[in-house]
A and B are shown apart, each in its own frame.
Chain A
Amino acid sequence: MPGLRASPPAFLLLLVLVFPRGSPAAPGAGQELEPGSRSAVAAARVALHYGNFQARSLGGLRALGQVRKATLKNIPESGHKYYLQFSTEDYRTGEDAGNCLATVLYPKKKSPPVVSIKCSHTKDKKEIQEEDNRFYQRIRHQSKPITGNNIPDSYGNIEPALEPVWALAVAGSSSIMWEKSTETLGYFLAQVKSVRQWVRKDDFTEFDYTVLLHEIPTQEIISCHMRLTWLPGHPLKVKHFCASNADEGSGAESGSAAGPSAEKGAKF
């Protein structure tokens, strides 16, 4: 069973704040989870979706490494709250990108998870900014508006020219995946089906995307349309609409784009 890694001193203070000791009067003492357990991993993923979206940067995009510590608390009237510590990797290179502390509250009523997340960096802010600027320049200095299909393609290839556009899709679809996540439904970005750039007179870049999300545990592929605007250093603006089912002859579900339909043999 994986033990706790020694945390850098800066974290000790945060640890005390993020992992409160249950006092006798507390509504429900925290239940420690196996760091590898699927609910802990799923919650960490939700926290990262939120973090990637909020970070407003492409150079700082992270993928989940390993969950080191996880605690679950039931907050009456509110929902289930996860307290997490996990390592991350740079989304593009896979290199260690530092650790994060996060809380994820899945509300009882239907609304996006409430996330707080704080991460350490292995890349300094300047490096990330420069990477963002490089991405930005690559997008701006095309002679024609960028268009693309199937990123990655069937063989897992991403054309180097389309890498910035893919990174932007990861950042933008993170907001969709965070919003849609529940304690029982998780998401991955399966593919960018299409992308088209809108040319703007100002400095912002703007894109129309169709992204395909892989939903767990239903295994469904959800098609979402995403309109995204970005300028380095500014918040990512994302508008989205997801179809209820991507494939032929489907759509037997009630037209909700949100949760799973209640049916016999439902997934959980």
Chain B
Amino acid sequence: MRDRLSLLTMRLPVLLAALVAVAACTETFVGHQVLRVVPQSDEELQKVQELQDLEHLQLDFWLAPRRLGLPVDIRVPFPSLQAVKAHLEAGGVSYSIMIEDVQALLDEEQTEMLRSSRQLPLSTETFNYEAYHTIDEIYNFMDMLVAENPNLVSKLEIGRSTENRPLYVLKFSTGGTNRPAVWIDTGIHSREWVTQASGVWFAKKIVQDHANNEGVASILETMDIFLEIVTNPDGFAFTHTKNRLWRKTRSKHSGSICVGVDPNRNWDAGFGEAGASGNPCTETYHGPYPNSEPEVKSIVDFVKSHGNIKAFVSIHSYSQLLLYPYGYTSAPAPDQQELHEVSAKAVAALSSLYGTKYKYGSIITTIYRASGGTIDWTYNQGIKYSFTFELRDTGRYGFLLPAKQIVPTAQETWLGLKVIMEHARDNLY
């Protein structure tokens, strides 16, 4: 395959034209083959030269016939393949198929190009928000964002994961000391890839709004925003390398061969009650005790020591829901009415962009009973505006949401998030 790729780059002018044509969707090369003939006699040479005159075949000679013993390379469009091969075979001219499908090779080349260009995005301007990224790419993005906006953005390490990966939180602040703050996390369940991807988009959006003095710029005048994009880095790495549908952390607790704890069942709110599993081999295993997972404990420690977080939003996928406490009990949260009203507004704002339909309500009535959940704990800590989003879709693609839906999902979700942030700002407690 390597030889054929280098062969392709030798024909650079042709390749460029082909790629441009492909990009402009004017032509494809599906089924086209590149044949090589090495004429060994005058008769063979003549047979090949005859092909040049048959214009209707639309042959493209990459190496034109010249002398005996020199290779002749011909790109043959799919509809002409039979005729050309018949012509050569009838004349006793042997040929080999150098490229079985030109389009397949072009696609591969394009993927390679994209992959190599992805390794070096030069700034957050050239970063591709419409694609899914690896941990390294996201951590690199974060560093670039901080470097480009040192007066607005800083990166905090709030702890380390089980496998010793740093847990990074971006802080967006225009100053002050310990201002009231909004917390947003994405990727706590590693397989929910649209959430980490949306987190990256949110980070860039906050910076852009601030630069243009619109959107959340007004919120940043009086509040800070904390954003943890890869809340479960071990799980996330695992989804890239071994199992795309991995949900939990990657911790090993004694007494079991199974790996991982559900980080959304590990919080100290109804811990271990109905709505979580005590079996380490299940996807909703709550862990041996609350905050056993460093990914969870680091957030708990951060929230407690900060002491001034007013809104807390944890982002998941899929189902298209906006949820508020509780999940571990059917007792309504004391602020249920207000939370319900804010949810209605947030969902209306979200839907206004693309018509995406969301339902909303308490966790237990809307989705299912779940104990030890993030926002039940944060709510019980006194963070009134505690919400969970479940992003697109409703099951058609589920966790494997096509990358082209990343930006629309992030855009609409952002509108909902802004409603929550603005309400918190206007109703500080």
Contact = CB atoms under 8 A, between A and B. Distances in A.
Interface of A: 36, 38, 45, 63-64, 66, 91, 94, 150, 152-157, 188-191, 212, 214, 216-221, 245, 247-253, 261, 263-268
Main SS class of interface, A: loop
Interface stretch (B7-15, B68-76, B280-288, B307-315): B280-288
24 contacts: A45-B395, A91-B396, A152-B400, A154-B239, A154-B244, A155-B131, A155-B402, A157-B402, A188-B395, A219-B284, A220-B282, A220-B283, A221-B283, A247-B258, A249-B281, A250-B258, A250-B281, A263-B279, A265-B276, A265-B278, A265-B286, A266-B274, A267-B368, A267-B369
Contacts of B405: 156
Contacts, number: 117
B162 to A, nearest CB: 16
Nearest to A92: B396
A66 B240 CA distance: 34
A261 B275 CA distance: 14
A128 B90 CA distance: 45
Interface in B8-29: none
B402 A216 contact: no
B217 interface: no
Given A247-B258, A266-B274, 12 more contacts: A66-B357, A154-B239, A157-B403, A188-B398, A191-B245, A218-B283, A219-B262, A219-B283, A247-B243, A249-B259, A251-B281, A266-B277
B174 interface: no
Contacts of B257: 249
A190 B283 CA distance: 15
Given A188-B395, A245-B281, A268-B368, A155 B258 contact: no
Contacts of A266: 274, 277
Given A251-B281, A263-B277, A265-B278, A38 B366 contact: yes
Contacts of B367: 38, 217
A214 B398 contact: yes
A258 to B, nearest CB: 16
A51 B274 CA distance: 33
**What are the 5 tightest A-B residue pairs by CB atom distance, in nearest-first order?**
A156-B402, A219-B283, A250-B281, A217-B368, A249-B257
A267 B277 contact: yes
SS class, residues of chain B in contact with chain A: loop
A207 to B, nearest CB: 20
Interface of B: 131-132, 193, 239-240, 243-245, 247, 256-259, 262, 272-284, 286, 357, 359, 365-371, 394-403, 405
Nearest to A266: B274
A250 B281 CA distance: 5
Contact of B272 (A156, A216, A220, A265): A265
B403 A155 contact: yes
A252 B402 contact: no
Contacts of A248: 258-259
Q: Which of B283, B369, B397: most chain A CB closer than 10 A?
A: B283
B398 A252 contact: no
A268 B371 CA distance: 11
Given A217-B368, A219-B284, A155 B132 contact: yes
A153 B395 contact: no
Contact of A156 (B243, B278, B371, B400): B400
Contact of B275 (A155, A214, A263, A267): A267
A216 B193 CA distance: 19
A216 B368 contact: yes
A263 B285 CA distance: 12
A122 B334 CA distance: 46
Contacts of B256: 249
Contacts of B276: 265
A229 B369 CA distance: 39
A134 to B, nearest CB: 17
B368 A38 contact: yes
A190 B277 contact: no
A252 B274 contact: no
B277 A154 contact: no
B286 A249 contact: no
